[in-house]
Structure 1
Amino acid sequence: MSSTHTPSAHTSNAPDGRLEAAIDMLAGLVGFDTESSKSNLALVASVEAYLTACGVDYVKIANETGDKAALFLTIGPKVDGGVVLSGHTDVVPVEGQNWTSDPFTLRREGGRLFARGACDMKGFDSICLAMIPEFQKAKLSRPIHILLSYDEETTCRGPLDTIARFGVDLPRPAAVLVGEPTLMQVADAHKAVVTYRTTVHGHEAHSSKPYLGANAVEAACDLVCELYRFGAALALQGDPSGRFDPPASTIEVGVIHGGSARNILAKQCAFDWEFRSLPHVPQNLALAHLESYIARVALPKLTRYAKDAYIETVSEVEVPGLRPEPGSQAESLALKLARSNHTISVPFASEAGQFQAAGAPTVVVGPGSIDQAHQPDEYIEIAQMEAGIAFMRRLAAEMS
């Protein structure tokens, strides 16, 4: 699938034929540069052409600005109780990475498929789309839905408009399978992520007389140190479930900037930080701790000589965690299809928590390894594509 080629909807049903159809589909999808900061509409239009050729009904759900869209399609009866296969279309940037080939041209070499997004997660998207002809022939008694979303790499909010329509004008699913790379293992838990920007507003003065102002850099450094002290305390609390790596909720500060000169008390200093919390830990725990420290310690110190100084923290991205739901329809189905009897947890966040928060049982299961994602020469093993196709064939049989 590309701007100049749409794969046939009538590819052979032989296992190798379906695999080649999926690889052909992947070549088309990775050909679109859908970095999260860019539009995905060209990719969406190409998929729409393929769906029309397949005779599949779909709904396109645009974002507020109209520069991105999700696709929600249904194979089988339009009733509640189906399964959603959820994948995102956006990818992380390639700028500054040392690729050995064009990141937006699929390279097949040594049993691997190289391209930006090949693993995370256009490989899964390609399998789902390539399987449509087989889904159509399966005479499904319950529907299989495919959701292609956007902005997963930045906010995980891309599927929310679609989720809001479940049970309204779209069927309400009984289970959601999010196809992030897990080597086809079933993951029933991941941490939540919240990102913040904390800005200290000080008061400029000559550095020789610090009592005439308020140094925003000094206060910001104190807050950063307090966050890491709290992170160390969380590490000591550990992970009661024993399932996560690292085995604790974590805090990291990624960017700090402020001040204008060495001999001027900084007027402003900001730092960007994140909190990755275990499923049972409140998402606002780190923020609440920081705000308490600001009120008790940091702000009184900052405003000793400058009453107009203040500190503010803004939440930028909030991604809910995925909580284990033993015995849920999503877990039971995925384990059966994966031919497994145990679940895993994953260290990364995903859109899965958004579905779960809306009441849809959800797990994460998809081809490829997260170890290959977000790096130069990202790849997915062809064997993982084959495993994904086998999984989807078993799904079609289960839903028939």
Structure 2
Amino acid sequence: MVDAADATAILAELVAFDTTSRESNLEFIEYVEERLARVGASSTRVASADGRKANLFATLGPMVAGGVVLSGHTDVVPVDGQPWTTDPWTLTRRGDRLYARGACDMKGFLALALAAVPEAMSGRLARPVHLAFSYDEEVGCLGAPAMIAELARHLPPPSAVIVGEPTGMEVVGGHKGITSYEIVVRGHEAHSSLPHLGVSANMEAVGLMRELTDLAMRLEEEGDPESPFHPPHATLTIGQIAGGTAVNILARECRFVFDLRCPPGQDPNAIIAPFLARCAAVDRSLRARFSEAGVIATRRSSTPSFAAEADGPAERLARRLAGDNGPRRAVAYAAEAGQFQQAGFAAVICGPGSIEQAHQPDEYIDTAQMERGAAFMRRMLDALTG
């Protein structure tokens, strides 16, 4: 029987691993492999190109069609500079809250999935549970595609993929996609009193950022008020800017990073194409003046949106397991559900905790959410028995 107390004990072990996206997650993966091996379950790694990280998937129960994939990411966001009042790598209970980095996003769900492993391996299942744990979700859903490709090649078709992002154990049927770019503007240094003798990368970058700001405003104006997303329109924000050496030197280089988040049905490549054409034009102009100057635009990530599957099998199942009869829901953040959908899997998002707690100092998950998550897992195993 899946028990919330057991899942909480597992959660305490999971959060002790610093799986910030910049770090390796291999110790975490080894821990999961060892837990699975103890009950006779084998697992498969799908390593990153440099071997520093890995996805993991495993099948619990018979290797037949119609199973359920429990999908979650192992990485967490940094704690750098955040005013934590507890140790972010130690699960700390205060009243009905469990504090730690990743407790909510999304090791709480992973702990619940692992708590279900012994019963899933007991021999009573008619259809399997598949675990699918990824890396680098927080930096653009970079790890999951290789794992999803392996799942599609090697597993009997599952009936549903449940991506356990924090939704308060309510079923979410859609999310926005995210495309992010790094723009590097290179200028030519000169004394700031003689700007005609050089090019300020900062000044050129400001012009490009102005175009992105205008684009963001246009996207807001064009938003569909009937959209289930909040905000209803595609959004564009510039998240990082760095450039310049000193106040009296024309900047040699300026870098900035932006992301574009689009609801299903909007093509991010088409939206951003005019801006990239502008970057190319500025690049040609700067190179004509100084050979080392120019603009380089590099796409960092491209995660597809997740479109609602009207009366889809994943949503029907998840609603039944969660006891959710509420309205259809969609979220503005990006997740791996769109990648599963793109590969032909029926998917849904449903997991414990609130997205409002994700990425915050003193991140926490309520014990009531762990209880609801444990009940969800019990019902899932019962559903796979018949």
Could you state the TM-score of these two structures normalised by the residue count of structure 1? 0.89
Cα root mean square deviation, aligned: 2.1
Structure 1 pair 307/160, CA: closer, same or farther in 2 (3 Å)?
closer
Alpha-carbon distance in structure 2 between the residues aligned to 1:139 and 1:255: 52
* Equivalent residue number for residue 82 of structure 2: 97
Give the partner amino acid of 2:323.
R
**1:182-230 C-alpha deviation (Å, 9 max, x unpaired):** 0011111111111111122223334344333333221110111110011
Structure 1 pair 99/214, CA: closer, same or farther in 2 (3 Å)?
closer
* Aligned residue-pair number: 384
* Equivalent residue number for residue 356 of structure 1: 341
- The yes-or-no answer on 1:50 pairing with 2:35 is yes
Give the partner amino acid of 1:63.
S
Paired residues of 1:211 and 1:305 also in contact (CA < 8 A): no
- The yes-or-no answer on 1:20 pairing with 2:5 is yes
* Equivalent residue number for residue 364 of structure 2: 379
* Equivalent residue number for residue 6 of structure 1: none
Which of 42, 45, 55 in structure 2 is aligned with 1:60?
45
- The yes-or-no answer on 1:267 pairing with 2:252 is yes
CA shift at 1:250, angstroms?
A: 1.1
* Equivalent residue number for residue 8 of structure 1: none
Paired residues of 1:77 and 1:143 also in contact (CA < 8 A): yes
Give the partner amino acid of 1:316.
R
Alpha-carbon distance in structure 2 between the residues aligned to 1:58 and 1:22: 20
Which is worse superposed, 174-183 or 154-163? Answer: 154-163
* Equivalent residue number for residue 323 of structure 2: 339
**1:2-30 C-alpha deviation (Å, 9 max, x unpaired):** xxxxxxxxxxx3x7xx1211111111111
Alpha-carbon distance in structure 1 between the residues aligned to 2:245 and 2:35: 55
Paired residues for 1:91-130 under 5 Å: 91-130=76-115
Alpha-carbon distance in structure 2 between the residues aligned to 1:121 and 1:40: 14
Structure 1 pair 330/204, CA: closer, same or farther in 2 (3 Å)?
same
Give the partner amino acid of 1:372.
Q
SS at match of 1:125: helix
- The yes-or-no answer on 1:201 pairing with 2:193 is no
Paired residues of 1:73 and 1:145 also in contact (CA < 8 A): yes
* Equivalent residue number for residue 139 of structure 1: 124
Alpha-carbon distance in structure 2 between the residues aligned to 1:209 and 1:62: 52
Alpha-carbon distance in structure 2 between the residues aligned to 1:161 and 1:299: 34
Which is worse superposed, 262-271 or 299-308? Answer: 299-308
Which of 192, 202, 205 in structure 1 is aligned with 2:177?
192
- The yes-or-no answer on 1:71 pairing with 2:56 is yes
Alpha-carbon distance in structure 1 between the residues aligned to 2:283 and 2:26: 47
Give the partner amino acid of 1:147.
A
**1:59-81 C-alpha deviation (Å, 9 max, x unpaired):** 23322222222221112210233
Paired residues of 1:30 and 1:116 also in contact (CA < 8 A): yes
For structure 1, list consecutive stretches of 5 or more residues without a partner in the other structure: 1-12
SS at match of 2:8: helix
Paired residues of 1:180 and 1:365 also in contact (CA < 8 A): yes
Structure 1 pair 390/312, CA: closer, same or farther in 2 (3 Å)?
same
* Equivalent residue number for residue 328 of structure 1: 312
CA shift at 1:378, angstroms?
A: 0.9
Give the partner amino acid of 2:30.
A
Which is worse superposed, 60-69 or 373-382? Answer: 60-69
Give the partner amino acid of 2:196.
Y
Paired residues of 1:239 and 1:278 also in contact (CA < 8 A): no
Structure 1 pair 23/249, CA: closer, same or farther in 2 (3 Å)?
same
Structure 1 pair 128/305, CA: closer, same or farther in 2 (3 Å)?
closer
For structure 2, list consecutive stretches of 5 or more residues without a partner in the other structure: none
Give the partner amino acid of 1:68.
K
* Equivalent residue number for residue 3 of structure 1: none
Alpha-carbon distance in structure 2 between the residues aligned to 1:40 and 1:203: 41
Paired residues for 1:143-162 under 5 Å: 143-162=128-147
Give the partner amino acid of 1:340.
D
CA shift at 1:345, angstroms?
A: 0.9
Which is worse superposed, 202-211 or 157-166? Answer: 202-211
* Identical amino acids, percent of aligned pairs: 47
CA shift at 1:271, angstroms?
A: 1.4
SS at match of 2:57: strand
Give the partner amino acid of 1:184.
M
Paired residues for 1:195-234 under 5 Å: 195-234=180-219
Alpha-carbon distance in structure 2 between the residues aligned to 1:300 and 1:167: 44
**1:294-340 C-alpha deviation (Å, 9 max, x unpaired):** 456x5577568557642221111222211111122212211222222
Structure 1 pair 202/173, CA: closer, same or farther in 2 (3 Å)?
same
Which of 298, 308, 311 in structure 2 is aligned with 1:314?
298
Alpha-carbon distance in structure 1 between the residues aligned to 2:292 and 2:42: 59
SS at match of 1:49: helix
**1:89-144 C-alpha deviation (Å, 9 max, x unpaired):** 11111222222222111112211111111111110011111112233347222211
Could you state the TM-score of these two structures normalised by the residue count of structure 2? 0.93
Paired residues for 1:277-292 under 5 Å: 277-292=262-277
